[in-house]
């Protein structure tokens, strides 16, 4: 096994059809509920209301993904999903993906990026708070399994 690469080699790009297997495999490994299906990913790849981003090392090794949703006539974008491959976590890839999601939202002239996170997801909450996200709401029994969530927002400048 090679050690996971440092983020210097990591690039974020728009997902393509050839990424579908990796996207679905990571989704299934990562989330027990509220999963996105292959068909949903497939639709989002071509949609103007979504941007699926992929982080990869040296343009090859798939490391993680972020999914951003946009709504017509809304200046608030939503970071719907974020996941790094388990072997590659804790190396800054999630942070790079969130920054790329912010760039995508700014390109769409959004004034803010919002997200929801489980209240017990301390790694993700730390990442978001370090990135300047502010807690703006509590979401009781928000997830399919009944878990509570926090809503966070970052105003994009
Ligand atoms: C949340 C998640 C995307 C973070 O991805 P990542 O690539 O590990 O992100 P980063 O390395 O940028 O930051 C992770 C932080 O978690 C901590 N961390 C350290 N080792 C870790 C590990 N092995 N696994 C997870 N987090 C770790 C670190 O504190 C790190 O912050 P730091 O900058 O202080 O070191 C990733 O843990 C993941 O895919 N989790 C499962 C899916 C999920 O919870 N998604 C978010 C839903 S809202």
The pLDDT, as a whole number, for residue 123 is 96
Confirm whether 113 is domain-assigned: yes
Total count of domains within the chain: 1
pLDDT value of position 27: 95
Contact 50, 70 (CB under 8 A): yes
Nearest to 70 by CA among 26, 112, 30, 98: 112
Whole-Å CA distances, 22 to 15, 27, 52, 61, 118: 10, 8, 13, 10, 24
Ligand 1 nearest atom to the CA of residue 124, by list position: 1
Mean pLDDT, to the nearest integer, of 32-61?
Answer: 92
Instruction: Look at ligand 1, atom 9, and give the residue with the nearest C-alpha.
Output: 94
The pLDDT value recorded for residue 3 is 55
Return the pLDDT at 114.
98
Task: Report how far ligand 1's centroid is from the alpha carbon of 55 (Å).
Answer: 14
Q: Is residue 2 part of a domain?
A: no
Say if residue 7's pLDDT is above 80: no
Whether the model pTM is above 0.75: yes
**Residue 45 reports pLDDT greater than 80:** yes
Residue 87 belongs to some domain of the structure: yes
126 CA to centre of ligand 1 in angstroms:
8
124 has pLDDT over 80: yes
**Residues having CB within 6 Å of any atom of ligand 1:** 30, 82-84, 89-95, 117, 121, 123-124, 126-127
The pLDDT of residue 96 is above 60: yes
pLDDT tens sequence across 81-92: 999 999 999 999
The pLDDT, as a whole number, for residue 4 is: 53
Q: What is the pLDDT at residue 69?
A: 98
Decide if 121 is inside a domain: yes
Write the residue with the smallest CA distance to atom 20 of ligand 1: 90
pLDDT at 6: 64
Question: For residue 15, is pLDDT > 80?
Answer: yes
Cα of 72 from ligand 1 centre, angstroms: 31
Looking up residue 100, the CATH number of its domain turns out to be 3.40.630.30
Query: What's the gap in Å between 73 CA and the centre of ligand 1?
Result: 32
DSSP 28-88: HHH-SSSPPPHHHHHHHHH-TTEEEEEEEETTTEEEEEEEEE--TT--EEEEEEEEE-GGG
**DSSP character for 9?**
G
CA 101 to chain centroid, in Å, comes to 7
User: Percent of the chain beyond pLDDT 90?
Assistant: 85
In a domain, 115, yes or no: yes
Asked if residue 132 belongs to a domain, the reply is: yes
- The pLDDT score that the predictor gives to residue 110 is 97
Ligand 1 mutation pick, 34, 64, 79, 84, max ligand atoms within 8 A of CB? 84
Mean pLDDT of the chain: 93
The residue segments making up the domain with residue 99 are 7-155
70: phi > 0 → left, psi -120 to 50 → alpha, else beta; which? Answer: beta
Distance 123 CA to ligand 1 centre (A): 5
């Amino acid at each position: 096994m090679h050690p996971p690469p440092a983020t210097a080699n990591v690039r974020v790009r728009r997902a393509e059809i050839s990424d579908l297997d990796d996207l679905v495999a990571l989704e299934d490994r990562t989330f027990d509920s509220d999963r996105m299906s292959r068909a949903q990913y497939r639709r989002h790849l071509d949609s103007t209301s979504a941007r699926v981003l992929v982080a990869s090392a040296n343009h090859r090794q798939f490391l993680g993904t972020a999914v951003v949703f946009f709504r017509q006539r809304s200046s608030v974008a939503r970071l719907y999903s974020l996941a790094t491959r388990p072997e590659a976590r804790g190396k800054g890839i999630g942070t790079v993906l969130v920054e790329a999601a912010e760039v995508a939202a700014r390109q769409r002239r959004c004034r803010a990026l919002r997200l929801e996170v489980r209240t017990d997801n301390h790694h993700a909450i730390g990442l978001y708070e370090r990135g300047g996200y502010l807690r703006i709401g509590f979401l009781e029994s928000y997830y399919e399994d009944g878990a509570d969530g926090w809503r966070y927002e970052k105003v994009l400048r």
